[in-house]
Structure 1
Amino acid sequence: MQPGERLLVRGGSAGVGVVAVQLGRALGAHVTALAGARNLDFVGDLGTHEAYDYAITRPADLPRFDVVMDTVGTEHPAYRRLLTPSGRMVTIAFDVDRAAASLSYIAASTMYGRRRVCSFSGRPTHRLLADLTRYVEAGAVRPVVDTVFPLEKIAKAHRALEAGGVRGKIIVRIV
């Protein structure tokens, strides 16, 4: 990200989205987030310039973005169309109801067209982790924990994730 670029974070109030919003702001981006209605003030407090209720906001209602960070995994084509000509989209999720089509779309976008969709590798470099550490130490990125569950309540933790509306991360205490 470059200062002044426009960033859209889908799932701005969930675990990865919370960090994406804060990092975008720390990097000087103009940050927009999609979140549930009850979490709009929350993502605003994290640093968004605009926040929209995902339940009533259609992709066509949104402006163009230089970067789309997708933590939801649905409607890839609609959100890809929001990219500027040199824009890029990063996704950490795919549509579980249409897995083959979703994954094929992501793969094809890396070969065709200027506005590419990249999937997160899950193997961050030492340099990226060091950068993130500096942002945390400076207070620009703060971890947000929704709930801590003991290991014996892991099923309840999973149900909370499935229900949605989580703010930040759910932690399962193993010890």
Structure 2
Amino acid sequence: ALRAHAGPRPGERLLVRGAAGGVGSVAVQLGKALGARVTALAGPGRLDFVRELGADEAYSYTECGPADLGPFDVIMDTAGTEHRAWRRRLAPGGRMVAISFDLDRKAASLGHLLASTVHGRARVRFFSGDPRHCLLTELAGLVDGGALRPVVDSVRPLAEIAAAHRALEAGGVRGKHVIRVAADETA
């Protein structure tokens, strides 16, 4: 989503909301690989972690809101809240990619999506999946070259998928939760 729909360029200011999570941790690293100056917004206990991933600056979402940061050339929003307020932190010509909605404010989030689509606002894009081979090949090259490393929070058997989901809902994720599916578990 970040590369294909917002295309941060060298020297541009990139904000990654939800920077410690599965998608955010990749976005921080990808932004750095593309030459952006990366600002990470994460939970208070995750700031050192996102700096280790390459963030130039890291702030706690409990202490910084939209009025405290910016402007940014690109915003990668994995958190899904306060879309309108964060959109206002875009610099002229800035782009925003959102991959989630505010589940507590479904109507407002859906309205924001529809307004962005109907009015053709290229500045804000909502995104869900893009399996293009060229993008996957590029990501694989970054992994092979060491510019991007997969971050795994936990590995659990399929029988513990509910516990993994509860952990995601509770927040505080560092990377991806992996569910191991063994041949004998699928029968």
- Gapped runs of 5+ residues in structure 1? none
- Gapped runs of 5+ residues in structure 2? 1-7, 183-187
Which of 108, 112, 116 pairs up with 2:115? 108
Question: Whole-Å Cα distance in 2 between the matches of residues 35 and 86 of structure 1?
Answer: 25
Q: After superposition, where does 1:44-55 map in structure 2 within 5 Å?
A: 44-55=51-62
Question: Whole-Å Cα distance in 1 between the matches of residues 120 and 135 of structure 2?
Answer: 27
Which of 22, 37, 50 pairs up with 1:15? 22
**1:120 Cα deviation after fit:** 1.4
1:98 alignment partner in structure 2:
105
Give the TM-score, by structure 1 length: 0.96
SS of corresponding position for 1:68:
strand
2:3 alignment partner in structure 1:
none
Give the TM-score, by structure 2 length: 0.90
Q: Aligned-residue CA RMSD in angstroms?
A: 1.3
**1:46 Cα deviation after fit:** 0.3
SS of corresponding position for 1:13:
coil
For the 8 Å contact 1:83–1:115, the answer to whether it is kept is no
1:60 alignment partner in structure 2:
67
Question: Whole-Å Cα distance in 2 between the matches of residues 131 and 151 of structure 1?
Answer: 30
Distance 1:87 1:111, change over 3 A: farther
1:123 alignment partner in structure 2:
130
Question: Whole-Å Cα distance in 1 between the matches of residues 77 and 19 of structure 2?
Answer: 9
**1:114 Cα deviation after fit:** 5.8
Question: Whole-Å Cα distance in 1 between the matches of residues 160 and 140 of structure 2?
Answer: 30
Query: Cα deviations across residues 70-94 of structure 1 (Å, max 9, x unaligned)?
Result: 0011100010000011001001101
For the 8 Å contact 1:16–1:71, the answer to whether it is kept is yes
1:83 alignment partner in structure 2:
90
Question: Whole-Å Cα distance in 2 between the matches of residues 145 and 114 of structure 1?
Answer: 35
Greater Cα offset, 123-132 or 1-10:
123-132
SS of corresponding position for 2:177:
strand
Greater Cα offset, 147-156 or 8-17:
147-156
For the 8 Å contact 1:85–1:114, the answer to whether it is kept is no
Return the letter of the residue paired with 2:157: P
Please state if 1:156 is matched with 2:163. Answer: yes
Alignment identity in percent?
64
Question: Whole-Å Cα distance in 1 between the matches of residues 76 and 56 of structure 2?
Answer: 15
